[in-house]
Amino acid sequence: MNTPNKLTVARMIATPIFMAAMAIDFPYHYLVALVLFAAAAITDAIDGNMARKHNLVTNFGKFLDPLADKMLTTAAFLGFLARGIGWQIVWICFIVLFREFLVSSVRLVLVSSGGGVVPANIWGKSKTMVQMCGIVMTLALYSLIDDFNLSAIQPIADIAINVVLWAGAVLCVISGVIYLWDAREYIDPSK
């Protein structure tokens, strides 16, 4: 297994540890979750750049990298849902999960039918970047509010969090539609 793929696997392993930091109440748990999430998110940038720069792109990496991203971001959204962070977070979670299950299912159909792997496009990468930045921002703000008792920033934080999380949800829809369009020649509903 090459180094970019090892980084991707490390991101997958970090996900349940991050989720535990979100779920378990202990002093500075949002700060710990923030550090874990940010470290895992940084591996996403590093593994992709390293794979392209050193010609280490593999089908395994093309398949596993988006899966690792989905695991990490889904864990964050489920943590937000459990904690009641964000207005209408249930709808954001639904949109994100619906898109991710749909795209993952299409990806599996493509691989099993010999259609290969449709790589992530700029919209999918933008969606992931906005989601990860939104999650980092949310964790940072909730660390300030909860860990450092700065509840006075709560109203402004809620507005900022919701704008970014909804922007990510909109990009989810756009990138999902584009992914389906790009994969249309490989999808035969009659089979």
CATH of the domain at 60: 1.20.120.1760
* 9 contact partners, CB below 8 Å, separation of at least 6: 1, 64, 68
Range of the domain at 90: 3-186
Asked whether residue 125 is domain-assigned, the answer is yes
Asked whether residue 11 is domain-assigned, the answer is yes
Asked whether residue 191 is domain-assigned, the answer is no
- What pLDDT digit, counting tens, does each position of 134-154 carry? 999 999 999 999 999 999 999
User: Of 76-80, 106-110, 123-127, where does mean pLDDT reach its minimum?
Assistant: 106-110
Asked whether residue 126 is domain-assigned, the answer is yes
Mean pLDDT of the chain: 90
CA distance 104 to 149: 40
Confidence of residue 115 (pLDDT cuts 50, 70, 90): low
> Apex CA 107: angle with CA 67 and CA 51, to 5°?
55
What's the DSSP call for residue 147? I
Asked whether residue 44 is domain-assigned, the answer is yes
E runs forming strands in 79-154: none
Number of structural domains in the chain: 1
CA distance 64 to 59: 8
Greatest mean pLDDT among 14-28, 84-98, 174-188 lies in 14-28
